Structure formats: structure tokens, C-alpha cells
Amino acid sequence: MNGYVERVLNETREKNSNEPEFLQTVEEVLTSLEPVIQAHPEYEDHAILERMIEPDRVIEFRVVWEDDEGKPRVNRGYRIQFNSAIGPYKGGLRFHPSVNLSILKFLGFEQALKNSLTTLPIGGGKGGSDFDPHGKSDKEIMRFCQAFMTELYRHIGINTDVPAGDIGVGGREIGYMFGQYKRIRDAYENGVLTGKGIPYGGSLLRPEATGFGALYYAEEVFRHENDMIKGKTFVLSGYGNVTWGTAKKIAELGGKVVTISGHNGYVYDPDGVVTEEKINYLLEMRLSRNANVKMYADRFDCQFFEGQKPWGVKGDVYMPCATQNEVGMEEAKLIAESGAKYYFEVANMPTSNEAIEYLKKAGLIVAPSKAVNAGGVAVSALEMSQNSQRLAWSAEEVDEKLHTIMKSIHDSSASAAERYGLGYDLVKGANISGFEKIANAMLAQGWY
């Protein structure tokens, strides 16, 4: 192993031993970068790796909100401003009880590399809270979002840091947070948040962008393999916004999604999540107060497998769309046994590092989340552009730009891997391509 990479990895393992998810990402990325580090001693001379894995700053704050009984409730809020070498910090806010520093640091580091891949001028950040939206009333959600923004507003800005949604944060939450930001600042700076509603500066196609982008990327992979999406069976996890957009585009392209999942089990729909009614029902489920994927099985009369994951179901293409670490060695073995050829990560870091290596060795084409799901943040950056120009592009205009961006992400990843003699390795290629732009910007900007 390259000496510099090894030293930084060992230091990180020691210093960050209480941050398992962050360590997982750093190990995956840094081992991919070995040939680049080997060829460019200037990165070591300027401590690029050490500087890149240490966030610019970590902000942690108390959020106090009033529940429907009039009682005060306390949660922890965060914003990690990870890297601003190529643009203002950009990345989502996650509201979920599992949120902690390790999770947000892994997401922030991944976000910086992903944003670099988009070709657009955005740095990396991530934030959120351990607040659990599940079972909360609409008014409780509103009061939480207002309380969260009352602290967050002082750290963000159109040229500083531009948050968006992630798990537990969709259009409704962004609306409440933007309302509070506007009230406090007394200014209509709608470029400070993305994922807004269409009437107040949201971009057409932002809700679809992560899923649509994933399929535009997949189309490039299929083209490379002289294969086609039409007629293929897709095994998906999740049932939220990302799963919705992914299923919608798969249906449009003639594929068939046969599974969706939630925290309590998965649904098997042999007829496919293919009709408009079924696809739209995903959105309806998520917005219900006690959202639960079993609702789909009841509504469309299909089987629900309680407490199980969908990875034992046979398919041609596997696309984890739910959350981190859904696929470990056990699940990877099931996927490899199915004889499938394609594995596209859509959620952020859904696969353990060991499982990625296993799937690659088993002969699957593995595409990493930081490339596959980058269409979401890319359209967020397009939303920022539209807001700063005070105009709105048509859905066709946004879709065309998204297409171009996803193709470029695929091509730059493939060619980066090729350049370092790694073959068609989309995982390493994405890390290298995302890294190079940030590293070179950091070199140019001096030590900080």
C-alpha cells in the first residue's frame, strides 16, 4: 500500500475510532486513491488527504420545540461544513433518530466528492437532527422546522452554505424552514435552500431528479455493455422520494420494479410497481402520519415479508434506495447468487466495503452512490442558478441538463479509472474523478 495513504488511514482509524460510518467512507475512498497519490507527490507535500478528511467546521446546537401537548421537547441539531474548495457548502438535512456525528461526517465527505463529480460549482456539507418525524403531526413538524432554522440561519447563506432535503426532509419541511429563514432575515433569499416548492422558487424535476438521474447513469452503463433496460427486473429497497423517482423512470423505460421496502419488511409485487396509480401511491404513503410500506401490500393485494430485506428476491438489477449499510456480506451473497449483472447504489453508502469488493469479484458491475445519486444535488445546483438569475427553466430544459450531467459523471469516472489502468471500475473512477478537482482547487488556494 502507498505509504502516505497507509499513514493517513492509520491516523484516521486512531483518531476517529468512535465514528464507524465515517471511517468506512474514508477507507473506501482513500484506498481507491492510491494510484493517484502515487503519481502525484504534491498531494502529500501539501497534506491534501489530511485536510480533506477534516471538515472545515462542525456546528452542533440545541433545538427546542413545542409538541401538541404544549410541552417543550429537546433535540440535537447539526451542520457539517465539510469542504468549500469548489463552491459554497451544499448538501441535505436529514431528520432521523439515527443521526449522529459519524453519520453526518460520512454523508458530508461523500457529498463533497459527489458534488465535485456533478461538474457544477458546489462544495460539500451535510446536516440534520436526531428528531424523529415518524408519528408527528403536521404542526409539530412545522414547529420543529422553525426551531431548527432559528439556530441554523446564522450559519447558512446563498454564497456560504445551501442546505436541502434528505431522509425525513422533503418539500413540506423545506417550505417551513424557508418561511422561518425569510422571517428572521427579512429578505427573499430563496437560493439559500433547495428542494423548494414550485410557487416560491423550486426547480421543476427536483423531486424526480435523484431517481431519474440514477436511470440516466444506468443507461450509460447499459450502453457500455451493449444491453438494454427494457424487459429487466429490478429489485429495489426503500419507498420514499428516491425509490419513487427511480421506479417512475424504470417503468417509463420498460423495466419492472418487483420490490420496495421499509424499516419493518419488504413488499413483493410480481406484477411490478409499474402503473401510475402504484407509483403515485408511494408518495401518498410517505406523507401519511404513520407511514409504513405494508400499506402498499394491503392496498394492492401483494405479499408483505415482515422483518425481512428484499435481497433474496431474484432480479437482473439491484438498486438499494433506502439508507446506509443495507447490504453486508450476507446480502451480497444472495445478490451474487441471483446471477444478476448490475448493482447500482442509489442510497448513500448502502453497501459495506467488504460487500462491494465481493460483488465486484463475483462479476457484477457495481456503480457507487456518489455517482449514481448525484442527479439530486445536481438539480439542486440548477435550482440555485435559476434563483440567482430570477428565472425558471422548463421541465424539458432541466431534464436535458440532468441527462448531460449524468452522462458526464459516468464518462469522467470511467475515464479516470482507465487512466490509472483500473479497467471499467466505476467505484474507483468516481472517487478519483471527484477527488482530483477538489484536490487541485485546494492546491491552488494555499494552506488552510
In the complex, which residues of this chain contact ligand 2IT (CB under 6 A)?
Answer: 90-92, 111, 164, 166, 194, 348, 373, 376-377, 380
Cβ(72)–Cβ(39) under 8 Å?
A: no
Q: How far is the CB of 10 from ligand 2IT (least distance, A)?
A: 29
Nearer to ligand 2IT, 87 or 265 (CB): 87
Number of CB atoms found within 10 A of residue 104's CB? 30
- Nearer of residues 90 and 136 to ligand 2IT, judged by Cβ: 90
Please give the grid coordinates belonging to residue 281. Answer: 401511491
User: Given the complex with ligand 2IT, which of 59 and 164 has the nearer CB atom?
Assistant: 164
Is 182 labeled as catalytic in the residue annotation? no
Residue nearest to ligand 2IT (CB): 92
Cβ(360)–Cβ(427) under 8 Å? yes
Question: CB 161 → ligand 2IT: shortest distance, Å?
Answer: 10
For the chain, give the number of residues.
448
Q: Closer to ligand 2IT by CB, 110 or 219: give it.
A: 110
Annotated catalytic residue, options 90, 114, 126, 278 = 126
Smallest gap, in angstroms, from Cβ of residue 352 to ligand 2IT?
A: 19
Q: At what angle do helices 426-445 and 20-32 cross, to 10 degrees?
A: 90
Q: Which of 144, 25, 139, 150 is CA-nearest to residue 96? A: 144
**CB of 265: closest distance to ligand 2IT in angstroms?**
25
Q: What cell does 100 get?
A: 449522529
To ligand 2IT, the closest distance from the beta carbon of 166 in angstroms equals: 4
8 Å CB contact between 229 and 255: yes
Nearer to ligand 2IT, 55 or 91 (CB): 91
Q: From 271, 303, 297, 270, select the one nearest 282 (Cα to Cα).
A: 297
DSSP 150-213: HHHGGG-BTTTEEEE-BTTB-HHHHHHHHHHHHHHHTS--GGGSSS--GGGTPPTTHHHHHHHH
Active site residue ranges: 126
